[in-house]
Structure 1
Amino acid sequence: MSQFENEDATFMERLVFNNRLFVVVAFTVITLVLGYFAAQIRPDTSFTKMIPLEHPYIVNMLEHQDDLASLGNSIRIAVEIKEGDIFTTEYMETLKRINDEVFFLPGVNRSGLRSLWTPNVRWTEVTEYGFDGGPVANRPAYLNDEDLEELRVNVLKSGEIGRLVANNFKSTIIEVPLQEFYPNPEDQSELLRLDYGDFSQQLEEKIRDQFQNENPNIEVHIVGFAKKVGDLIEGLTAVVAFFGIAFVITFVLLFWFTRCIRSTVAVLMTTVIAVIWQLGLMRLVGFGLDPYSMLVPFLIFAIGISHGVQKINGIALQSSDADTALLAARRTFRQLFLPGMIAILADAVGFITLLVIDIGVIHELAIGASIGVGVIVFTNLIMLPVTISYLGISKKAVARSKEDAVRDHPFWRKMAYVAHPKVAPIVVIVALVAGVGCFFYQKANIQVGDLDPGAPELRPDSRYNLDNDFIIRNYSTSSDILVVMVETPPEMCSSYETMEAIDQLEWRMNNLPGVQSAVSLVTVAKQVIMGNNEGNLKWQTLSRNQDNLNNAISRAPDGMFNASCSLAPVMIYLNDHKAETLKRATAAVEDFAEEYNTENLTFKLAAGNAGIEAATNDVISSSELLILALVYIWVAVMCYATFRSLPATICIVLPLVLTSVLGNALMAFLGIGMKVATLPVIALGVGVGVDYGIYIYSRLETFLRQGMPLQPAYYETLRSTGRAVLFTGLCLAIGVVTWVFSAIKFQADMGLMLTFMFLVNMIGALLLLPALARFLIDPAKVRAKEASKLTH
């Protein structure tokens, strides 16, 4: 390098390139160490990480989690007989074996297990002597017709038809409450955490596969949070295949772009190293891979490729008039390190703002992704130029770059017309109309939460959703339960005032659209009082006599009230857990609570899977605008700090705003709700999309400082960096569009949304940014500002 260039070099450039060998050795050692830790990372999730722990609904639920064990984290196993009905020796023996197998699975709350074979499932009848009852299955085995007929009678008396027993008598359910932490069988003083992936696999191997293979007449259906998460983990392990596909596609496109195998391999290897570092650091901070953070390595790979392409493009351009690869790498580092650093900081903030969402898995996604984009500073902004300074770029690629530098580009020249005084207004008006139209469309149509029944994270034809559909079709009680917790002072849950208020809540909820039924202590009490009066329907009501009420609730099954009679849950069975259904049900309960809450009586939401979904939807709804506002504010601050120009900041940020509005409109059009899986995409799209605008404007400003008018300056910008931006957008989009073929629906949704946002952000940076610059940027002021700097 000449003495002038040495003096012009930044401190960071001298630090890196004057110690290249040390940099290479240090990076190699760090990669080996973090690679060791990355190899140890495993799928990891938990029930508590998937819910907003600070939301009032969840706080209320956790406060009473011991009393609501059977209404929290649980699964339901439906055992179906294809030919015949459940009242056969064959079926009952199979059900007994399945019940015993489930009983000994790790993490099962055995005291809360319910099936026809457990003693807590009982029958009751009114006789001339009073009430009579006992366990439904009161024999060790059912081997003859007489015993089976007795079983049939007991089932009919149990009140479990439609709940534990199918309406068509062809299947029954085993209800399995789970414990997040359970004693280690080998050391009772140690608590083990429930491994959802392993638990789901055991359900498949020990329950579904074993018993269906033994008896083709038996079919097993399993639903519940643990099974859904297990299926997600199983499906997401296939992301390795998608990563391989993305790697191959990126390799082909990069080689086509660079025409140089050395630079192609360098970009890919440094980007893969970034992924290894990210996974290793996640393991070091104690994180595993949950269904959401499993997608972060894809995003880090995509962002790394984006910055790598810019560096390779810059080095190829510099190589046309540089004597050595080292000189070209240093010049490119000097020119692009600051814009790249600013873009990566903007990316990181796009992730960090997700910490606003009070959900554990989103926190881990935000932290893991922030770590990932942080390491890109070292791998793609530092290590890549150093690597190329050793390897160089092929003569063919340099010759192509020289040819591009002198020849005319008709495509770029035509595109540069977006900065023309007559074309720019048209571009801005089109963008404005599209933005305003999509804003009002998405405002009217987008919904927070799930829009489909079952598990929307999975495909409609997935095994889980087919199992869920089976249970909905064959049982009267839905798997979507909203639980209202009725709190009273001790020994007051059975007072007439409490029971009457609960009765009023039941009546309101039973008449609310979207509600199947409501069950509580009052339901049982009315049945018992009627039974005490010869089964006369006129007596199916609440008695004002406290002794009668106390006697009535004494026959209530477990879970209807707690030991101190200070909590009486009301179970509201919903048709589904769609956003609209949950919003209507929770609003009705809150209105009721406002009317009926007193000092000694409080109606609190919410437990059950529907209560958790409602709390999650509430958190997403309240966080959406805040996240976008924080992202845009920080991106704007970073852009202003970089370019010291408010007009330049507006030119870069407005295309991102338009992309967010269009993205929300696309979600509304495709019927994708705003939820945990999709909200991060909007923030990530803004963070990643700002890269295009920063790289384009930094080059445009360089030519404006040289005294060029706006349109010619933009043409030169497109010649130097437009090809890299266009290629990056297409490469990233092609890399994530493969996700739409995933068996996991939320991954497919994220892939579709990210593809859209990568492309639209690229188009916005190439077309809308220069059109806005026509109105906001004065080339004369840019030149004057540069002249003022040189003078001082």
Structure 2
Amino acid sequence: MKKTLTSQIETALFRHKLVVLMLFVITSVFFTYQATQIKLDASFTKNIPLNHSYMKTYLKHRANFGGANNILISVCDTHGDIFNAEFFNALKGVHDKLFFIPGVDRIQVKSLFSPSTRFVEVVEDGFAGGPVIPADFQPSEEGLGVVKSNIEKAGIVGSMIADDYSCAMVKTALLDLNPDTGEKLDTLELAQTLEQDVRQSFENENISVHIIGFTKMVGDVAKGAKGVVLFFALAIGITAIMVYIFSHSIRLTILPIFCSLVAVVWQMGMLSSLGFGLDPMSILIPFLVFAIGVSHGVQMINSVVKKVSSGLDAAAAAQASFAALLIPGGVALLSDTVGFLTLLSIDIGIIKELAITASIGVAMIILTNLVLLPILLSYTKIKANAKVGVLSEDSVFWTFIASFAKRGRARVILFITAVLFAVGFYQGQGLKIGELHAGAPALHESSRYNQDTFLITDRYAISVDYMSVIVETTADACTSFDIMSTIDRFQWEMENVPGVQSAVSLSSISKLVNAGYNEGNPKWRIIPRNQQTLVQSIAQVPSSSGLLNNDCSVMPVILFLEDHKAQTINTVVDAVKAAAVDLGSEQVKFTLASGPVGVMAATNEAVEAAQLPMMIYVYGAVIVLCLISFRSVRATLVVVLPLYVVSTLAQWLMTALDIGLTVSTLPVIALGVGIGVDYGIYILSTMSLKLNSGMKIHDAYLAALKERGSAVLITGLTLAIGVSTWFFSDLKFQVDMGILLTFMFLVNMLAAIIILPALSAFLWADDKQEKIG
């Protein structure tokens, strides 16, 4: 049935070649136009697991306490302290400019110039206070002296003012929609606005401006991602050289590259047609599609040239090659596609988009490199004495490699493989979930964004890495001593957790105010038991402070962490969960989480939860497709087992190189498996024909190497060299992906030509062959 269907498709396509070519031309014109309409698209919500319990809490209370999509701008004096007219003019300019940028939550804009930034002091009659910067402020020596005094009274040194008085902070939260247009906030446009209208407008030799936040980080990633175009051009050049070395023909070099570029254009056009943009974090996928396309194109050229050398003309050779490669090539590409689609199981928008982008691209390759390429080759003049490959069929290298299919050497190969697997499995247990380094992990430590982050962290007492634990209770709970003391106990326990720098809540503010009412005596820094006194201690704390909602039924405890490393987050989250069980009740519930670190914690847990199911799905899909294709359990095992060994070694590599399992590295495992299976399928498809004809294992494998070996080698090297150029990227996550993909492309290729035959030597007995396929 399979042969009949293949024959029918083959006959229909090659009998109507001109019609098929015209359809390709028309489709290409349409998708080229659509591809020109695609835009970079990034949003905060795509990067978080919206259905995670932490994120449900975050979204539920975001309106009252702000979200995690914040912007922090530190304005610094480069020569001394902030108390000079030029600095205050710059600070007010930054505040006003930020206030009027579309998409900024104006209620949340906070700085020294905000009316809500107030000081309170204990005086003889009780309390006195007012805005830190008076309404009649003038940046004179007297006016600056008043502001400095008010800053100290307000207790904002370390939070809004740098510890050494060299900087002042302006911060805000961002909306999901642009209020001017009603459309989704354009993150990249906002990042550019912050750079041009804020940093460049106010930064000079005396004033420096430092901006951090998700939006600015994504903007810097998008800026670095433009360098991908250079890497793409470099990859095309490297690929062209490698294909020419293999084919020894300019014409045969151009055709697979052209067809692979068509696949990329179709991919971009299809994404645009479906309403998707291209996220900076998935901008690398078109390159992978191009590389995968070329690898399959090399297999087609290899087959056509060898059939021409055997006596067929180009048209007959192309038709025969199409028939021979439709099943193995189709199964390999379907394995790639299904492997990518397994990423849809991960409940994070950016990974789902990556899965869709990659799957569409590979689906396009099925048409361009398995259909369009052989049709174009049928019109190509190919000399009867043409040769392909980097090694001749009589090379001693193939004879040496083929010896791995003999049981003597196979035992050694399998023993070494078992040792490597055991060590890799053990070492891979140390793989950490989440970020392992300070700063934005997508960018290098030396990047402007991370340098801004380090400056803010160094000069301010509070960390930019904070998590809000939401305390849900009854209305007017802040007037209850029992509830407030429970929150205070929880805060005290959290302040003593390793990794927590400091904490703040309404209960801690209440204690400070109560002491103030008692002449500032630290002995009175307690929560008042008397309800009227308790009400007095929290009466001056507005809901805009972010410490309570309007009816005081929700009060966050804000934990400032030393960093956002995976170990720190895990330690704090575990402590919060334990304390929530110990101190929580029907009246008081401590729920995780809001704030930037709350989002990271949810993302880490989503990645950890998705790791095993994703691997099961991707390997399950590969196993099913191999069983359908080869109809043999043994054949499936010799293809899949080497892949699993390489995946295990890749986790060891990540542990050794201190690369955490994150949103950007998790998909690499599926990508590596999906693409790595191609080598084994192509080798085994040829090997199976020889076995079915009665050849022994060693002879069948040697024949497969002579026919497919050079193509497999050049494919693995081309893919690996192409992604190895990513080592020089401005984006740290691209460097990490480049390292992992280079490893997986190379080692999967080696595993296919070394471990596969060694397994075959023991799974098949020469005197009792099993039919394959």
TM range (shorter): over 0.9
- 1:367 matched to 2:356? The reply is yes
Q: Which of 421, 427, 434 is matched with 2:413 structurally?
A: 427
Q: Quick check: 2:304–2:318 contact (8 Å CA) kept in 1?
A: yes
CA shift for structure 1 position 779: 4.3
Partner deviation per Cα, 1:260-302 (whole Å, 9 max, x = no partner): 1112111001000000111111111111011222111011111
Assess, with a 3 A threshold, how the Cα gap between structure 1 residues 73 and 403 changes in structure 2: closer, same or farther.
closer
Please give the alpha-carbon distance, in whole angstroms, between the structure 1 residues aligned to 2:391 and 2:570.
Answer: 59
Q: Quick check: 2:471–2:591 contact (8 Å CA) kept in 1?
A: yes
Code of the residue aligned with 1:440 in structure 2: it is Y
Report what 1:357 is aligned to.
346
Please give the alpha-carbon distance, in whole angstroms, between the structure 2 residues aligned to 1:384 and 1:605.
Answer: 54
- 1:228 matched to 2:217? The reply is yes
Report what 1:296 is aligned to.
285
- 1:13 matched to 2:10? The reply is yes
TM-align CA RMSD: 1.6
Q: Quick check: 2:247–2:389 contact (8 Å CA) kept in 1?
A: no
Report what 1:187 is aligned to.
none
Q: Quick check: 2:390–2:710 contact (8 Å CA) kept in 1?
A: no
Instruction: Give matches, 1:241-320, under 5 Å.
Output: 241-320=230-309
Instruction: Give matches, 1:648-727, under 5 Å.
Output: 648-727=635-714
Q: Which of 471, 494, 508 is matched with 1:486 structurally?
A: 471
Code of the residue aligned with 1:171 in structure 2: it is C
Q: Quick check: 2:691–2:771 contact (8 Å CA) kept in 1?
A: no
- 1:385 matched to 2:371? The reply is no
Q: Quick check: 1:260–1:393 contact (8 Å CA) kept in 2?
A: no
Query: How many aligned residue pairs are there?
Result: 769
Q: Quick check: 2:441–2:732 contact (8 Å CA) kept in 1?
A: yes
Q: Quick check: 1:262–1:393 contact (8 Å CA) kept in 2?
A: no
Q: Quick check: 1:197–1:234 contact (8 Å CA) kept in 2?
A: no
Q: Which of 404, 428, 431 is matched with 1:418 structurally?
A: 404
Assess, with a 3 A threshold, how the Cα gap between structure 1 residues 488 and 14 changes in structure 2: closer, same or farther.
same
Give the secondary structure class of the aligned counterpart of 2:211.
strand
Code of the residue aligned with 1:368 in structure 2: it is T
Q: Which of 51, 61, 66 is matched with 1:64 structurally?
A: 61
Please give the alpha-carbon distance, in whole angstroms, between the structure 2 residues aligned to 1:8 and 1:753.
Answer: 39
Report what 2:491 is aligned to.
506
Assess, with a 3 A threshold, how the Cα gap between structure 1 residues 781 and 383 changes in structure 2: closer, same or farther.
farther
Which consecutive unaligned segments of at least 5 residues does structure 1 have?
1-5, 185-189
Give the secondary structure class of the aligned counterpart of 1:117.
coil
- 1:744 matched to 2:715? The reply is no
Instruction: Name the stretch that deviates more: 753-762 or 251-260.
Output: 251-260
Q: Quick check: 2:245–2:390 contact (8 Å CA) kept in 1?
A: no
Assess, with a 3 A threshold, how the Cα gap between structure 1 residues 403 and 723 changes in structure 2: closer, same or farther.
closer
Report what 2:188 is aligned to.
197
CA shift for structure 1 position 146: 1.1
Please give the alpha-carbon distance, in whole angstroms, between the structure 2 residues aligned to 1:140 and 1:664.
Answer: 62
Instruction: Give matches, 1:65-84, under 5 Å.
Output: 65-69=62-66, 71-84=67-80
Please give the alpha-carbon distance, in whole angstroms, between the structure 1 residues aligned to 2:300 and 2:765.
Answer: 29
Report what 1:156 is aligned to.
152
Give the secondary structure class of the aligned counterpart of 2:586.
coil
Assess, with a 3 A threshold, how the Cα gap between structure 1 residues 765 and 35 changes in structure 2: closer, same or farther.
same
CA shift for structure 1 position 555: 1.6
Report what 1:336 is aligned to.
325
Q: Quick check: 2:122–2:517 contact (8 Å CA) kept in 1?
A: yes
Please give the alpha-carbon distance, in whole angstroms, between the structure 2 residues aligned to 1:399 and 1:282.
Answer: 40
- 1:474 matched to 2:459? The reply is yes
Assess, with a 3 A threshold, how the Cα gap between structure 1 residues 596 and 516 changes in structure 2: closer, same or farther.
same
Code of the residue aligned with 1:295 in structure 2: it is L
Give the secondary structure class of the aligned counterpart of 2:467.
strand
Please give the alpha-carbon distance, in whole angstroms, between the structure 1 residues aligned to 2:628 and 2:185.
Answer: 48
CA shift for structure 1 position 8: 10
Report what 2:763 is aligned to.
776
Partner deviation per Cα, 1:41-94 (whole Å, 9 max, x = no partner): 11101111110000000011101111122x421110000001121111111111
Please give the alpha-carbon distance, in whole angstroms, between the structure 1 residues aligned to 2:767 and 2:678.
Answer: 26
Give the secondary structure class of the aligned counterpart of 2:387.
helix
CA shift for structure 1 position 321: 2.2
Q: Percent identity?
A: 43
Partner deviation per Cα, 1:433-475 (whole Å, 9 max, x = no partner): 00011100110x2100000011111001000110000011100
Give the secondary structure class of the aligned counterpart of 1:10.
helix
Q: Which of 182, 200, 222 is matched with 2:178 structurally?
A: 182
- 1:603 matched to 2:555? The reply is no
Instruction: Give matches, 1:780-791, under 5 Å.
Output: 780-782=767-769, 785=771
Instruction: Give matches, 1:112-123, under 5 Å.
Output: 112-123=108-119
Please give the alpha-carbon distance, in whole angstroms, between the structure 2 residues aligned to 1:697 and 1:778.
Answer: 16
Please give the alpha-carbon distance, in whole angstroms, between the structure 2 residues aligned to 1:739 and 1:72.
Answer: 31
CA shift for structure 1 position 401: 5.0
Partner deviation per Cα, 1:577-620 (whole Å, 9 max, x = no partner): 00000001011111111122222211100000000000000011
CA shift for structure 1 position 394: 4.5
Report what 1:146 is aligned to.
142
Please give the alpha-carbon distance, in whole angstroms, between the structure 2 residues aligned to 1:178 and 1:527.
Answer: 31
Which consecutive unaligned segments of at least 5 residues does structure 2 have?
none
Q: Which of 503, 507, 514 is matched with 1:522 structurally?
A: 507
- 1:54 matched to 2:51? The reply is yes
Instruction: Name the stretch that deviates more: 729-738 or 229-238.
Output: 229-238
Report what 1:36 is aligned to.
33
Please give the alpha-carbon distance, in whole angstroms, between the structure 2 residues aligned to 1:515 and 1:207.
Answer: 32
Report what 2:617 is aligned to.
630
CA shift for structure 1 position 7: 8.8
Please give the alpha-carbon distance, in whole angstroms, between the structure 2 residues aligned to 1:733 and 1:666.
Answer: 16
- 1:548 matched to 2:533? The reply is yes
Please give the alpha-carbon distance, in whole angstroms, between the structure 2 residues aligned to 1:303 and 1:527.
Answer: 64
Please give the alpha-carbon distance, in whole angstroms, between the structure 2 residues aligned to 1:451 and 1:754.
Answer: 20
Instruction: Name the stretch that deviates more: 594-603 or 42-51.
Output: 594-603
Give the secondary structure class of the aligned counterpart of 1:176.
strand
Partner deviation per Cα, 1:365-410 (whole Å, 9 max, x = no partner): 1011111111111000100000101123355xx43259988x6221
Partner deviation per Cα, 1:687-720 (whole Å, 9 max, x = no partner): 0000000000011111112222111211111110
Report what 2:741 is aligned to.
754
CA shift for structure 1 position 547: 1.5
Give the secondary structure class of the aligned counterpart of 2:101.
coil
Give the secondary structure class of the aligned counterpart of 2:178.
strand
Assess, with a 3 A threshold, how the Cα gap between structure 1 residues 74 and 140 changes in structure 2: closer, same or farther.
farther
CA shift for structure 1 position 785: 3.7
Assess, with a 3 A threshold, how the Cα gap between structure 1 residues 402 and 567 changes in structure 2: closer, same or farther.
closer
